[in-house]
Structure 1
Amino acid sequence: MLLTTAAFAGLVFVAPGALALDNGVGRLPILGYNTWNAFVCNIDENIIIETASLIQSLGLQDAGYTQMNLDDCWGEKNRSAEGLLQANAERFPSGFNNLTSQLHDMGLCVNAGIYSDSGWRTCQDYPGSYSNEALDAETFQNWGFDYLKYDNCYIPFDDIIREGTLGRFQRMADAIANLSSTTGQPPLIYSLCEWGWSQVWLWGASMANSWRVDNDIGANWDSIAGIINSASFITQATNFYGRNDVDILEVGNGDLTYEENKSHFTAWALFKSPLLIGTNLSAVSSEIVDILSNPEILAINQDPVVGTSISPFRWGLNPDWTSNSTFPAQYWSGPSQNGTVFMLLNTLNEPADMFFNLTESPWIRAGREYSVRDLWTHTDNGTAIRNFTATDIPAHGVIAVLLQDAGDEPDGIEPSCAVYCQCGTEDGTYVYGGCTTEY
């Protein structure tokens, strides 16, 4: 579906990321595992510990993945007589205190995560947290959890809740903050799973560490392309402590090709999204582990100096600011502590060459040359002067490069301006006359 609208251009200048929730936790995107995509409701304590062990043995812990999150279906269908949530006795017979202790003892989890819902019930019909926010936040912390994914099902009727989506999620945010002030412990990392339907990115940064921007991801290229399209218009919402969550990683799942897996992982990481693996690690290939472990891509995601996402500087196939869930923006860049990172995404169904002038990115200076580091081949590929061309990018494939300033460009290069719209001399003469819109 193709849609061009001034509304997108109007939204792009809002910068809620500047108001991100600086609450002492979650400054950088979390790296870890979430149970939903691989196991859905088929989770138990053995699966959790086995998966944690695989994260260690496959080298993913060494790559930085130190979080284990339980998704829906972990509980009993009803609260206890005292009104407390309960771990499912059959699937978690040892209880959650024992489980989180095991995870921490393994050295795996700086954070162990759990799931609940802002409505009466969770999406799989287990007890939700509406009207029990303070009690549940305390329960989660007492169990040893440090992270809460908070979903959006079974919403109370309007005459009961009498507040909008923001207010419903604010209730748990307040409970988490109050609990922290009472106990002196760090607040739970708070991740909103609202699916982006009420422009959650506009207000999520005031209460949460991350917020979902689209529907649940599917293990197919169409789903990934659609989420990239949604993210392309709200990249300014991401900064330290608050970020767009583009959902669980499907790397290695479904019918994704090798190139699609690389593109999926690259986009998620460079968006500064949380990176939560959703693959069954007992059957994962070494090729997929290598993708998930790419140290140079992960270094951008975990940049301690620059917290912002990459952003499109040209849409490419479509006019700029065009929403197209099948063919999203192709040309992206952003700053990092070590230079300007570029992502070139071939959204076409066939190989393609991609070209851009360096100063199309706002992070590049005119009149300078730049060393080129390929973040997937891990090679230094000479220097770029004025422009860059990537040839024969596979269908749905990606190029990710880091450009570092290497000094002034050589003297005598013509034309005098790489992009010569309004390029003129001191005496008021246009060098080339007028503007060009060609790239």
Structure 2
Amino acid sequence: MLTMAGCVPPPLAVLGLLVLLAPHAAWPTVFLPASKAHELLARWRRAGSYLLEELFEGHLEKECWEEICVYEEAREVFEDDETTDEFWRTYMGGSPCASQPCLNNGSCQDSIRGYACTCAPGYEGPNCAFAESECHPLRLDGCQHFCYPGPESYTCSCARGHKLGQDRRSCLPHDRCACGTLGPECCQRPQGSQQNLLPFPWQVKLTNSEGKDFCGGVLIQDNFVLTTATCSLLYANISVKTRSHFRLHVRGVHVHTRFEADTGHNDVALLDLARPVRCPDAGRPVCTADADFADSVLLPQPGVLGGWTLRGREMVPLRLRVTHVEPAECGRALNATVTTRTSCERGAAAGAARWVAGGAVVRKHRGAWFLTGLLGAAPPEGPGPLLLIKVPRYALWLRQVTQQPSRASPRGDRGQGRDGEPVPGDRGGRWAPTALPPGPLV
């Protein structure tokens, strides 16, 4: 055998070996590259998923109970709109109309993921809560600023320098001195108390003839500054200094005729400027409103106290977030009587600063800032609330003074012209059920 094997020619042996090895070389490898394996598995998974979906098409338990389904998947199960809608209302939380959300005899119709109210004549709103002729501060589709009820429908008006939009409800600034607006150069939203900030554009300082700042004030029109009567009587010659350091001479002072120096009652005065403030560079006025608008709409919202505090002999601006305090609670905290012409605000560390009279509490409402309070005498130190002059209570007096044909009042003739008396024929509007601010219709 050995001899015979040894006699096999070498070329034939090599050829036989190649024949034996060739099938093994042609077999595929056991492990595929990762990319090839992924493609194969992915294709198989998609094919299997498609086949399973076809097999279980219309299977409600799989579509909507084992996992969350969408409306179209439920529709494939029932193949009928009415049956699908009935199932869908239950599937998405039952029947909302069962709680009777439609008010004032409105009818309710369940719909997918909600309900729809059909209001009785004379009512409107998502839940038919609003009478068409009344003003409601909570309605989001109502007047942006001021509202007046009417026999069939309410009407809207805007604060000074704003005009009604095409919808007759929105208010758009149309004047460089439009009240209550802030330019891009102005104030960041206060976070607690922040010193060394730019004051609000309506904040001003009162300066005597020697150039000493002694009180604060609030620009309510481009030519009128509101301050306390006490501040207005401290010096014979007063100038107003805006935040841009413009100084404007005061040519006339209107002190409220019922101001009582001993008690501090009606401690308000208007300074008539010799020339208007240049808007918006030198400043911008704040918006004013009547008492009922303030009580119903503004006071429930948080406010900002922007004023001046003493740092040594220097008056520096300070802003503080505040919230309204009810009169009874405020009276107990301060052991004082809170009248209808005063209001209370509480803010963190309010009593820690040395406030200067003439600071202002403002509140933002739908894009405009409104004045609600004026800081009178320096508040006592401590954590208690701040007692302020309730400016909206003086709205009629403010309008009478600023709308007089001859604005200037000689400083020796303060308070004449029946300051503080209602404007004849001015009836105003009403929030349901309280009065609204009578502002000019624009």
TM-score (norm 1): 0.21
Normalising by the residue count of structure 2, what TM-score does the alignment of the two structures yield? 0.21
